[in-house]
Structure formats: structure tokens, C-alpha cells
Amino acid sequence: MSNKTFALSDELYEYLLSVSLREPEVLRALRDETAGQRLSRMQIAPEQGQFMALLAKLMGARRCIEVGFYTGYSALCVALALPADGNIIACDVSEEWTAVAERYWRQAGVRDRIELRLAPAIETLDRLLAEGKAGTIDFAFIDADKENYGAYYERCFELLRPGGLIAIDNTLWSGKVADTADHEQETEAIRSFNRHLYRDQRVELSLVPIGDGMTLALKSL
């Protein structure tokens, strides 16, 4: 028997959730509401949100960035794991989805931990760098338009402190990255990004097969 990570059957996935997912009611409600939205598949998996919260706690994160928050689920998972003076700079371009996110962040009592930046994320990240925030961020999560992953990663890398962590979502892209017949633009963008990351000696690397695949890149000390 190979010791590679195995595929999860529906039954095993339900079991995994039943013995490990401790989703607060507010997150559950946000997930339920988002399920009725178009593009609800963009939301991260709940066990992935819990894993990100654990990572944030593990590293004592206080300063965070999220690139692409949609209706706010992943940002809320991390915000709930931060100390009271912790903060997330949350980047997106959609006012419609932001309204949903803000409602749940407020309901969860963490609205003051989340700083909204509604603008193309490259502009926001460049502005943060121009404001002198390089080397100050503990944890960054990238989950926006795939064609810009490389640009987001380089900027987040500059913003990260040594020992800080970048998590990048969708790096397995529903398995399409391994389908040699698939040449869609987003698939190619993720393949190219994954190759770039693999060669990047400035980070410690792990691609975790959780959700749609989440790569962790730790900025070397």
C-alpha cells in the first residue's frame, strides 16, 4: 500500500467533519447564506478555515492580509483566531459581497479587527508597501483572481516578516492542474504559479491537499 495522501470518499469526508469540525454558529450561518449566492463554490471549505485559524494561533499572528474575501468566511475564521488587537487588511473589489461579509463580521464581534480595502488588490498591496509596511505582516492568504497570483505572492512576500506565512488557495484547482489536456487560462496560471513557487528558495514549502489545495510558503528567517 502506498503511503501517499488518499482521495476522500463522501463518507470519509463526512466522518472527518464529524470528529474534527468545530464551526461556530456564526460561521455556519455565513456558509448557509453563501450557499444561496451565485459563485458559492468560491468559498473555502470549513475544515480549511479551521486549519487556517489553527495556523494563525500557532504562529501568534497579529497582522494579516487577505486577498479576495468574497462573503467573508475565510477572513472571519482568521479574525476569530486573532488576539483583540489583531487585524486583517481585507482586499476585494465586490461591494455586493462585502455587504454580506460586513454583516457577519459585525455579528461575530470582530468587525473592528478587519480593515477593508475595496480596490484591485495589486493597488492595495503596492500602497501598503509605499506606506512602509514591508516586513510587518505575519500571515497572508491569497484567494483572488488566479492570473494575478504571482503578482500577489511577490507583494505579500515583501510585506511578510521573516518567519511569516503565506497561504495560497486553489493550488490543486479541482485536479485540473494534472490534466494535460486542460489548457484553460486559469489552469495554466495556477500551474505556472506552482512551478514558480517550487523553485522559490526564499520559502519553506508545503502543498496541503485540503479544500481545493492550499500551499503554505514560510518566509525563511
Q: Which stretch binds ligand SAM (CB under 6 A): 56-64, 71-79, 82-90, 174-182?
A: 71-79
Q: Which of 68, 86, 164, 211 binds ligand SAM (CB under 6 A)?
A: 68
Least distance (Å) between residue 73 CB and ligand SAM? 4
Q: Is 91 in the site for ligand SAM (CB under 6 A)?
A: yes
CA diameter of the chain: 53
Return the SS3 of 207: strand
Q: Is 212 in the site for ligand SAM (CB under 6 A)?
A: no
> From residue 121 to residue 150, what is the string marking binding to ligand SAM with x (rule CB under 6 A)?
x---------------------xxx-----
Which helix (H) or strand (E) segment holds residue 87: the answer is strand 87-92
Q: Is 37 in the site for ligand SAM (CB under 6 A)?
A: no
Q: How far apart are CA 176 and CA 213, in angstroms?
A: 11
The nearer residue to ligand SAM, 75 or 203, going by C-beta atoms, is 75
| Cell numbers linked to 34 | 453563501
- Cβ(144)–Cβ(122) below 8 Å: no
Q: How far is CA 33 from CA 42, 71, 97, 103, 104, in A?
A: 13, 9, 11, 11, 10
* Side chain identity at residue 158, one-letter code: E
Residue closest to ligand SAM (Cβ): 68
- Cβ(70)–Cβ(101) below 8 Å: yes
- Number of residues located near ligand SAM, criterion CB under 6 A: 19
Q: Which of 27, 42, 56, 110 binds ligand SAM (CB under 6 A)?
A: 42
- Residues near ligand SAM (CB under 6 A): 42-44, 68-71, 73-74, 91-94, 97, 120-121, 143-145
